[in-house]
Structure 1
Amino acid sequence: MQKQRVVVVAPGRGCYNKEELGYLTRYHSDKRDFISEIDDYRAEHKQQPISKLDAENKYSFKLHTPGENASALIYACAAGDFMDIDLDKYDIVAVTGNSMGWYIALALAGALDPDAAIDVINTMGSMMAGGLIGGQLLYPEIDDNWQIDYQKIALIDGVIEQVNQHNGCELYTSINLGGYRVLAGNEAGLKQAEALLPQHDNRYPMRLYNHGAFHTPLMKEISEKGLSALDEDLFQRPDVPLIDGQGNIWSPYYCDLNELRDYTLSHQVTETYDFSKAIEVAVKEFAPDKIIVLGPGNTLAGPIAQELIKHNWFNWSSKQDFVDAQSSEPILIAMGLEEQRKLA
């Protein structure tokens, strides 16, 4: 049987929630050595083991959402899912990720070995353990059919411009996330944005709990700390093509490791992460038969589908096209969903 070509997408922060508690135990109890290596690393840094975090009786925002815990936990879940992909059935032609998922993608593609991966992910995830810098909020750019609403785009752009005219207020585009925009800024800027953006579906603008002002100039100090803390020799050429948050492809055949490190610890920390562009490049350059989204959770399937609809990929032009296609033979496989997991 001919293998199907797949692009694999790694998740970012905010995907390990109440429903995902116990994910490691449910799906990856056979990977004790891998999990133990992460726990040993965290023990050296006086941090709770991820195995214990995952085994808690009750999900806790205070315990499970801070970056110093969430990052390593999500990495372990996603990497475990990646290990479970059936390579007799699928040919992984490229790897990408959203936000923190870029660090995970580096590990999955082989640009970071397992020791380097937990070092980078845990270090960057723990940078704001002493206190968050700024925050993030989410707002849609699409209509009910998951088609681009250009008036909403103009509205968001106008709010950013208006907020930044106020003394002491900072607001930026943090992530282009399919049919959503993630905005980030300082508290004054976020409050202004919340006042200016019209309420939508009784959900938006939505503050993202325990999220800092990622991918904005407010993270300059975090970038500098990362560059100082993480050695240059941690990075190596990937085994699989990597697509970053600008839509650039890092190839196994040629990869400037200094540039890769600089992008990872500098540019993508302080500049907008264009996940939408990463997905566009993934499908247009690698023409996958399917896309596999790693768990935990399933927060990225909607944004990916919305980006594919924008480009009429797989002949999807609306939300209903996506729903109909997924009900028969899913092209977008979310490993965080029990019913789709077996397909991967």
Structure 2
Amino acid sequence: MKKRALVVCPGRGTYNAAELGYIKAHHAARQDVIATVDTVRTAIGQVTVSQLDAADKYAPSVHMTGDNASALIYACAMADFVAIDREQYDIVAVTGNSMGWYLALACAGIVDLAGGARLVNNMGGIMHQHGIGGQIVWSVADDDWNIQKDKLLFVSNLMNEVHSISEINVHISIRLGGMIVFAADEAGLKWLMERLPKDDRFPLRLMHHAAFHSPLLNHVVPIALTANPLSDFGAGEIPAIDGQGRIWSPRAFSREAIYDYTLGAQLTDSYDFTRAVQVAAAEFAPDTIIVLGPGKTLGAPTIQALIASGWRGLSGKADFQARQHDAPILISMGMAEQRAWAQNQALHTNKR
């Protein structure tokens, strides 16, 4: 019997130095997917994702910028999605984190592969040219991945304080499992770095990231609407859960509505990845959650979101690891030792 699978799509920041060569290592058998993305970029004079992935050395100034990183992540993730063994898994729903919403649209069939490549490439370029501000990540979870109420209260009080300071612009960008991602202007970023309690990792400012999912990007909306045609959006084949926890069921929505959300509120309003995962798990009862590559950083936030909702009685990191050892409930395709669990073994290429 097939397992019911929820697919989770990664966002920006998941193709790093460790992922260089991801396409070459894992997707020699899926050149049709990669070629589609390359064709979109070649048509407007951009370096192809194949060339970026085949570079001798990872260069943050090249690989992490929005105009390149977005397309690289899209190509890797969509090739992973195609590689999932459909004889073993019935994909019942898709969701994603931040830019991962665009990927989820493609996985769901709401946009086709080429349409998704154009959307991701256009938006990556627009953010690179017109994005302002930045993002800071701060952890609100303990060592066992349980979200701490005192830290959530701190965040709430912090945001109340922000409203009384006219010189800064700070917003909650993403609720990411056990982390809060803030979006802010430069003055706000400086204030956050001074105001947030520090440990050995957080608060962390994200490189090459604009103030995504905040009113600071209101000016991007008309540019995005002009660059991306409504005609690329369709009825879909798989339910998709957006950054507000809303379910877009195949043939049960207007393409105008999902177009307006994708290029409107999705850019300017807070993105609740935590809620998206919780809704998907509660409504579609997956046996397995498959997180597409590249990278392996989205697995923890996904499980943290499920721990917070008590999904299947999950109580913490140790509980998850024990269950994962017995019968994996989460497969991270960005991890070489796990990706084989999700894909057809006949198509499995050499591990790195």
TM-score range, shorter chain: over 0.9
Output the CA distance in 2 between the equivalents of 1:194 and 1:165: 18
1:1-344 alignment to 2 at 5 Å? 2-130=1-129, 132-200=131-199, 202-344=200-342
Q: Which amino acid aligns with 1:208?
A: L
Gaps (5+ residues) in structure 2?
343-352
C-alpha displacement of 1:99: 0.3
CA contact (8 A) 2:132 2:211 kept: yes
C-alpha displacement of 1:131: 5.7
State the Cα deviation string for residues 270-309 of structure 1 (Å, max 9, x = none). Answer: 0000000100111100000010000001111000111111
CA contact (8 A) 2:131 2:217 kept: no
Q: Which amino acid aligns with 2:44?
A: H
C-alpha displacement of 1:255: 1.5
CA contact (8 A) 1:163 1:193 kept: no
State the Cα deviation string for residues 200-259 of structure 1 (Å, max 9, x = none). Answer: 2x1111101111000000111111100112111110011001111111111113121100
C-alpha displacement of 1:33: 2.7
SS of the aligned residue for 1:342 comes to helix
SS of the aligned residue for 1:198 comes to coil
Output the CA distance in 1 between the equivalents of 2:108 and 2:44: 26
State the Cα deviation string for residues 292-337 of structure 1 (Å, max 9, x = none). Answer: 0000011110001111111222321011101111122211110111
> How many residues get paired?
342
CA contact (8 A) 2:133 2:184 kept: yes
Which runs of at least 4 in structure 1 moved beyond 4 Å after TM superposition?
Answer: none
C-alpha displacement of 1:22: 0.3
Output the CA distance in 1 between the equivalents of 2:311 and 2:324: 14
Q: Which amino acid aligns with 1:96?
A: T
CA contact (8 A) 1:134 1:212 kept: yes
SS of the aligned residue for 1:80 comes to helix
Change (3 A) 1:253 1:130: closer
SS of the aligned residue for 2:231 comes to helix
Of 234-243 and 32-41, the range deviating more from structure 2: 32-41
State the Cα deviation string for residues 33-88 of structure 1 (Å, max 9, x = none). Answer: 32222212212222111001000111111011111000000000000000010100
TM-score (norm 1): 0.97
Output the CA distance in 1 between the equivalents of 2:131 and 2:217: 10
C-alpha displacement of 1:147: 1.2
